[in-house]
Structure 1
Amino acid sequence: MENKKGTGKTALITGASSGIGQELAKLFAQDGYNLVLVARSVDTLHRLAEVFELNYGTAQVTVIEKDLSEEDAARDVYERVQSKGIVVDVLVNDAGVGVHGKFANETDWEAEKSMIHLNVLTTTLLTKLCLRDMVARNEGKVLNLASLVSIMPFPLMTVYAATKAYINSFTQSLVNELKDTNVTITALMPNATDTDFFNKAGASDVLATDMVDDPVVVARDGYEALMSGKPKVVPGGLVNKAYEVMAYVAPQETMAGMMRYTLTPKSEIARKLDERKPLFWAVGIGLAAAAVTGITLAARNRRTLAAD
């Protein structure tokens, strides 16, 4: 019989009804964990529970319907779990939302306030409540969904990026505080991912939606990093790692311009490209000439080195 490493343990996952959260829940179920699934879409959670029980033999799936943007939502979830006698061995703070638009005059404050409550306050309090118990037992794991934009400016989703910067800093500080315990905490820092995130944020037509990663890959990389006790993970391939390096070394204004471009509606980009077509042709020819020159010089240099 296959040895499932999570048998008997419980993982609490917020935002488990879709996207990265759902894929993470599947991985925990496959490894024999009992689950506490938290989201607003209770019908979806119940269907997931049936799938996990049927496909993976999950012994216990507890479904909690909760809007985590509400005041004291985290405490309510924690107390409901405690009342059932459930010990949370792994906490996954996946739930989060974004809001798209210019902060000064396009976005809605109530939506942003709700986002801050969900992304920051609920995550912080739920982590505090569960972490306190984990430290007392000297065992446990936490996975916080940060983002690659937590280390760079992100115009047109300014407040969202700020909430993720908070989560990343919060997590890395806790890594240090927990270093003398058997409790670990990990920041998952994905690039844009193929979920319903952009649609819910009012950004379904932005360029970034053409450059999304697979949530299955993101969840797998996050799960492996969590189980290994790593402080952070940037899932995906070399492109995402390159973005991380650029965020640390490139000028902030350069990064801001690049990231704003990815959040620009594709229709607006197409219009601007059409208006500037002669300019872009000139720039394109110039870049091509520079590239050819660079390749020629590199080849000549290689021949010189070979002769030497």
Structure 2
Amino acid sequence: MMPLKPVNITSENKTILITGATSGIGLEFVNIYADLNYNIIAIGRDSEKLKLLKSDIEIKYSVNVSTLMIDLSNPEDLINLSKQIDSEIKDIDILINNAGTGVYGEFKDTDFSKELSMINLNIVALSFITKIVLRKMLFRGKGKILNVASTAAFKPGPLMAVYYATKAYVLSFSQAVASEIKGTGVSLTVLCPGPVNTKFLKESSDNELRYIDYGKMSDPKEIAMYGMKALEKNRLVEIPGFRNKLNTLAVKFIPSKILMYMIYRSRKNNLKL
């Protein structure tokens, strides 16, 4: 179990807790909300990246940055996180569950230990953190939660079968909880971006991927801005970009066998074996 960095929030500014805060969409959320004078609680598993984030953000913005170095895929670390949130963090105004990972390849060939870790991160950690923070928000009668899913949530995904299933869970779970807390002063939004120009795809596969056009992918900052605006408007589901909205709608009208074949062939061609 990795040690937890102490939390030290003293300012009267509002506070946001962000998981997966050291890169990609999570780091963009950090910058957006620091610019809005939110104190930041950044969760990540790379101590050096967390130190750099804290230094950079506190120099650039007049906010406090606290860091938690934790492996969210480790259930024992989640218990320690829960205790720390209960005992040391008084109020959380916004929670962004951004941390996530993927595994790319034929299910029969992929490493199940990696998939189990992904399930723990994408599903268990997200659900657990939502629960403990939601309880604090409901006690206060205010707060906002953003869970990051994906357009993968709307269809099965051959060669990323478990990842797609985890994102379908995030969407379904978030919609259900949002219904339960309606009228409480606490809102829950689920963000469903399409492909984003981060290291996600490269890190998801043990094999080199080809034919990946990162130029056509969304910019992480753009996606984070969509998420921020969706939170402010208390939207339930936010799908950034017209093309992603259209694709999400189109899959409802394509026969499942044809859709699965199209996705499988596209993904298979990306594998450089």
Q: Normalising by structure 1, what TM-score?
A: 0.80
In structure 2, what is the Cα distance between the partners aligned to 1:68 and 1:245? 33
Change (3 A) 1:36 1:262: farther
Could you say which residue in structure 2 is the equivalent of 1:128?
131
Distance apart, 1:74 and its partner CA: 2.7
Corresponding residue to 1:102 among 97, 103, 106: 106
Q: Which of 194-203 and 92-101 deviates more? A: 194-203
In the alignment, structure 1 residue 93 sits paired with structure 2 residue 102: no
Corresponding residue to 1:156 among 156, 159, 177: 159
Distance apart, 1:193 and its partner CA: 0.6
In structure 2, what is the Cα distance between the partners aligned to 1:152 and 1:107? 20
Contact 2:44 2:68 in 1 (8 A): yes
Q: Secondary structure at 1:44's aligned position in 2? A: helix
Runs (4+) of structure 1 exceeding 3 A deviation are 206-211, 265-269
Corresponding residue to 1:171 among 162, 166, 174: 174
Could you say which residue in structure 2 is the equivalent of 1:251?
255
Pairwise mapping of residues 47-196 of structure 1 onto structure 2 (< 5 A)?
Answer: 47-58=52-63, 60-104=64-108, 106-196=109-199
In structure 2, what is the Cα distance between the partners aligned to 1:31 and 1:119? 28
In structure 1, what is the Cα distance between the partners aligned to 2:162 and 2:15? 33
Answer with 1 or 2: which has the greater Rg. Answer: 1
In structure 2, what is the Cα distance between the partners aligned to 1:72 and 1:224? 34
Change (3 A) 1:188 1:214: same
| Structure 1: gaps spanning 5 or more residues | 1-5, 270-308
Distance apart, 1:95 and its partner CA: 0.5
Deviations 1:249-278 (A, max 9, x none): 322223222322442344769xxxxxxxxx
Contact 1:75 1:126 in 2 (8 A): no
Could you say which residue in structure 1 is the equivalent of 2:3?
none
Contact 2:28 2:221 in 1 (8 A): yes
Distance apart, 1:44 and its partner CA: 1.2
Change (3 A) 1:170 1:206: farther
Could you say which residue in structure 2 is the equivalent of 1:28?
33
Q: Normalising by structure 2, what TM-score?
A: 0.90
Change (3 A) 1:252 1:43: same
In structure 2, what is the Cα distance between the partners aligned to 1:143 and 1:170? 12
Q: Which of 205-214 and 154-163 deviates more? A: 205-214
Could you say which residue in structure 2 is the equivalent of 1:205?
209
In structure 1, what is the Cα distance between the partners aligned to 2:23 and 2:37? 20
Q: What's the % identity of the aligned pairs?
A: 34
Q: Secondary structure at 1:181's aligned position in 2? A: coil
Q: Secondary structure at 2:264's aligned position in 1? A: helix
Q: Secondary structure at 2:188's aligned position in 1? A: strand
Q: Secondary structure at 2:243's aligned position in 1? A: helix
| Structure 2: gaps spanning 5 or more residues | 1-10
The one-letter code of the counterpart of 2:81 is: V
Deviations 1:264-304 (A, max 9, x none): 344769xxxxxxxxxxxxxxxxxxxxxxxxxxxxxxxxxxx
Could you say which residue in structure 2 is the equivalent of 1:38?
43
Change (3 A) 1:85 1:65: same
Question: Higher helix proportion, which one?
Answer: 1
Deviations 1:153-204 (A, max 9, x none): 1100000000000000000111111112110001110111111111110165
Q: Secondary structure at 2:156's aligned position in 1? A: coil
Contact 1:68 1:118 in 2 (8 A): yes
Q: Secondary structure at 1:35's aligned position in 2? A: strand
In the alignment, structure 1 residue 17 sits paired with structure 2 residue 33: no
Could you say which residue in structure 2 is the equivalent of 1:222?
227
Q: Which of 66-75 and 222-231 deviates more? A: 66-75
Greater relative contact order (Cα < 8 A, sep 6+): 2
Contact 2:104 2:160 in 1 (8 A): yes
Deviations 1:13-60 (A, max 9, x none): 0000100111111111111111110011121122112222122211x1
In structure 2, what is the Cα distance between the partners aligned to 1:134 and 1:252? 40
